[in-house]
Amino acid sequence: MISAPHEYALTPEQLDKHRTDGHMDIDAVRAGAILICPVKTPGGGVYLGDMHAMQGDGEIAGHTCDVSGTVTLQVHLLKGLNIDGPLLLPVLEDLPFTARPLTAAERAQAQAIADQWGTQLEESAPISVIGTGPDLNSATDNGLARAAALLEMSVPEVKNRATITGGIEIGRHPGVVQVTFRAPLDRLEKRGLLPFVRDQYGLG
């Protein structure tokens, strides 16, 4: 689209302003996942397409097993969220191991260590922020910046959280990534996301 020889051509600045990143080709967007999308046009609607029967991370061959299908979904309107790109709450088994909510046994072990050192456990839950760009480095930077803006924290903090409690995964090569990490519940609540996170991961 950038500088293309037709009437739909965009400048890089126009693309940054208007892109919704709807064509993600992320294999974690599947039955049971919760996807939260930006709305950047008045009366924006919902459309679905490019359904795949199977796909590995990256869709590295540039294609996969495209199929027709029937989709059942619930749609909720979150007014005032004002996100720049999609957010994803994957099903539990699709989360990086370190991003999964603690089990009761893990929490008890963590609490024992926290008590030993006189510190508190943070209440947190997983979220994936989608980043895009012309290449994977740019997409990662975009995802980190979006996550930082969403949760009002610095990019270095997001990097540390993704390192310790999550990961960076390729959505579609060469320029779509998932920045996944456990985020503080109070930050998620402030953005109106906590009810969806609680429902998705069975948090009390």
* Domain ranges, residue 61: 1-40+47-88+98-204
Residue 83: inside a domain, yes or no? yes
19/86: higher pLDDT: 86
Q: Is residue 93 a part of any domain in this protein?
A: no
Q: Please report the pLDDT score of residue 65 as a whole number.
A: 93
The C-alpha atoms of residue 132 and residue 193 are separated, in whole angstroms, by 22
Residue 146 is predicted with a pLDDT of: 97
Q: Is the peptide bond before 42 cis (omega within 30 degrees of 0)?
A: no
Contact criterion met (CB below 8 Å) for 26 and 138 = no
Structural domain includes residue 13: yes
Does 127 have pLDDT greater than 80?
yes
Above 80 in pLDDT, residue 1? no
Q: How many CB atoms lie within 10 A of CB 87?
A: 21
Q: What is the pLDDT of residues 139-149, one digit of tens each?
A: 999 999 999 99
Answering whether pTM is above 0.85, one says yes
pLDDT band at 12 (very low <50, low <70, confident <90, very high): confident
112 or 203, greater pLDDT? 112
Number of domains composing the chain: 1
Q: Is residue 89 helix, strand or coil?
A: strand
**Length of the chain (residues):** 204
Does residue 67 lie in a domain region?
A: yes
Q: Is residue 189 part of a domain?
A: yes
The Cα 71–Cα 114 span in angstroms is 45
The pLDDT score that the predictor gives to residue 123 is 95
Q: Evaluate if residue 17 carries a pLDDT over 90.
A: no
Q: How far from 148 is each of 63, 103, 174, 204, CA to CA, in Å?
A: 32, 27, 22, 26
